Structures are given as structure tokens and as C-alpha cells.
Amino acid sequence: MKAVTWHGKRDVRVEDVPDPQIKEPNDAVIKVTTTGLCGSDLHLYEVLGPFMTQGDILGHEPMGIVEEVGSQVTTLRPGDRVVIPFNISCGHCHMCGMELYAQCETTQVREHGMGAALFGYTKLYGQVPGGQAEYLRVPQAQFGPIKVPNGPPDERFVYLSDVLPTAWQAVQYAHLPDGGSLTVFGLGPIGQMCARIARHLGHRVIGVDGVPERLEMARRHGVEVVDASETTDVPEAVRQLTSGRGTDSVIDAVGMEAHGSPAAKLAQTMTGALPDALAAQLMSHAGVDRLAALNQAIDTVRRGGVISVIGVYGGMTDPMPMLRMFDKGISLRMGQAHVRRWVGALMPLVTDDADPLGVMDLATHRVPLQRAPEAYEMFQKKRDGAIKVLIEP
């Protein structure tokens, strides 16, 4: 089959690789019909190379049609249409019983002290072949796959793999009061959906970004915006919109790739120049994140407010302004999305003909699998108005 494979920094290729096979009785194999290109894939493209191996298959936002199931998979059959959550969870361990599926004890990558295994995402998360491919082996298929109805286009459902549950969790973790106010830093796909979900739930939302196409998309969905490219002090701009207080909550949907933080940018660049073994050791024991967005979130949230971090960070000793956080009485919550936990709330919204979350107004580009390397470069450089790219094998 054809698949998108990693070969180094800014070097992804479409290659012929062996077709996936059933290896365990709770496996399934699906034919991928649509898969997403995620902002966190760019971390592999740029920063997290020390934890990759040449030939790793990328991607963690797939959906498709079941081709084959193992002997212990009784909830699926060939021909079923399914979305595959990006994290791999068993559904029956202690953590899964608490609906903390991203911490599944069956698939935890204990060798690296990490949580549940992920599709297409480094040695740290199990080095499981990903979904930017024609076919995908799905471990723990007795629980993970989400069955969706036939008929509507893939765009109705593909975001259940990551974007929508991640955004829903971020809003839940923001713990907004009734009718409360929220600032969303970063209006990429996750930030866009955070803003739309919060609006759908009755909250006031201010979105912050510096990319014109992202700001315009947010405006289309009723979000107030602050243009970071034209504002020298974003927290002050938000305070001016909120009676001088700041918003009740803030979502950081940016993470380690934030603009600013020149020292951390230098650390990332230097790390990328080291041999993989040394670079991995440094990243595991040092602060290598650009914290500009998180620091602005701390300044933006009102006193006694909540910050929900859904952007991915990778450093181990990043400096935090603890005095400022303590003085303001800030609550901080974060983590990988527990995908299956939120599907029940999201399914009625994605099957509603009115499309209340605007899932049909998120993808800006649809490309065949063969053009995936071009799509990575375009998305990384924010060319051609790219906000969300869908790949069609």
C-alpha cells in the first residue's frame, strides 16, 4: 500500500509499504477514506525528530471502512464505517473505567513513562503505524472505533478522531461559568472548534491569532477577534474588551510552536542539530518550548480564572511564572483528549443537518495521498490560506 512516511526534518514521503495484517485477536484493519493533517504532525515535521525512526508511518486522524476484524472483535464487521480515535485505549482497565482513555493502562508506553499509545506519533507513544495511508491496523478494536452512519460525507465525521473531542475537552476543562467569557489563543483547527463549541454552549468568545484567514474564519462563526499581528499587548487588548478584568477562562491552543520566545526557538534549533540520541536526552530533561502563548494566557485570564492547555508542549523543565500564577489564583488543567468520553455529546451535533459546529466549514484543502508532502510544507508555512488539510487516499 501507499503511506506517508517520515525520513527527517521537513522530509516526508509517500512510499510503498507492506499492507497491515491482523496481529492480535482484538485488531481490525480498515481501508482509510479520509485522514487529517494535524498541527501536532508539524511537531514531528520540525521538532520531535529525535523520537522518530526513518520510515515511520504518520497520521492520527483517520476514518474509513472496516476490511477485516480479529476473532475477539464482536462489535464490528466488514463494511462498517468507522472513525478511529487518535489514542488507543482498551475500554476496560482502571483508567478507562474512569473515562481517562488517554491514560489507558493496557496501552501505556511504560518504557518512556508516557500515557496511552497513539497512532503515528513517535517512540514515546508506542511507534504505532499511523493513518495517513491506504490501510490501517487498529489495535484494541473491540473498543476504539466509532461507528458512524452511511450517507453523509466524511467531513461530517472525520473530526471525531481528534479535533472535535480535543476541542470539547478543552472547553470542558476551561470550567466556564454560565454565560462566561473565554479567550482562545491560536485559531488553527483546534482553536476554531474550541471557539465554536464555546459559542454553541452560550459563552462569549474572543479569538487571538495573527493569520488573516484564521481570523476571518472565526469571525464567520460569531467570534470576536484580536489580531496578534497588529496588537503589541494582547492581554491588555482583551482586558479592554472585558471591563479591565480579562476573560473568565483562557484556552491555549498553540503549544510549543508559538511565535516569540526566542531563547526557546534557539533551543529547538540547537536540539535539531544534535545526533538523535543526544537530542532525545536533551528534550527529555530540558525546557525547549516556546512559552509565549502560555505566558500571554496567564496575563489574559482574570483573577481566579482557569487556563485550559490543549496545545502540545514537549519540554520537561520549562520555566513557569509561578508567583504570578499563585498571586492571581489561577487554575490550570491540561492533557491529551479522552476521545471516547466526549463522543456521546458530539455525535448529535455532527449528524444534525443544521451543522451547528460548522464542520463543513473547516477544511480549506483536500489533497490526494500522493500530494501529502506538498500539503505538509503548505500547512507548515501557512501558505494558500491553509487552516485544515484533509488527505484522501
Tens digit of each residue's pLDDT (9 = 90 or more) over 168-208:
999 999 999 999 999 999 999 999 999 999 999 999 999 99
Task: State the pLDDT at residue 262.
Answer: 45
- 179 and 129 housed in the same domain: no
Amino acid letter, 288: V
- 267 and 155 housed in the same domain: no
- 302 and 348 housed in the same domain: no
Task: State the pLDDT at residue 317.
Answer: 61
| Burial class of residue 6 in the structure, from the number of CB atoms within 10 Å of its CB (0-12 exposed, 13-18 middle, 19+ buried) | buried
What's the structural domain count of the chain? 2
- 54 and 88 housed in the same domain: yes
Task: State the pLDDT at residue 275.
Answer: 47
Higher pLDDT pick, 344 / 52: 344
Task: State the pLDDT at residue 257.
Answer: 56
pLDDT of 265 strictly over 80? no
Q: What is the mean pLDDT of the chain?
A: 90
The CA angle 94-100-101, to the nearest 5 degrees, is 90
Alpha carbons 268 and 341: distance in angstroms, whole number: 34
Q: Which of 310, 334, 358 is the last residue of a domain?
A: 334
Q: Which of 334, 366, 383 is the last residue of a domain?
A: 334
Q: Residue written as cell 509517500?
A: 14
pLDDT tens digits, 192-248: 999 999 999 999 999 999 999 999 999 999 999 999 999 999 999 999 999 999 999
- 201 and 119 housed in the same domain: no
- 258 and 342 housed in the same domain: no
- 131 and 203 housed in the same domain: no
Percentage above 90 pLDDT, the chain: 78
CATH number of the domain that residue 23 is part of: 3.90.180.10
- 197 and 321 housed in the same domain: yes
- 37 and 134 housed in the same domain: yes
Task: State the pLDDT at residue 57.
Answer: 97
CATH number of the domain that residue 214 is part of: 3.40.50.720
Q: Which of 298, 316, 334 is the last residue of a domain?
A: 334
Full residue range of the structural domain in which residue 282 is found: 167-334
pLDDT tens digits, 267-284: 444 444 444 544 444 444
- 114 and 247 housed in the same domain: no
Alpha carbons 382 and 101: distance in angstroms, whole number: 32
- 142 and 177 housed in the same domain: no
Reported pTM: 0.91
- 109 and 172 housed in the same domain: no
pLDDT of 286 strictly over 80? no
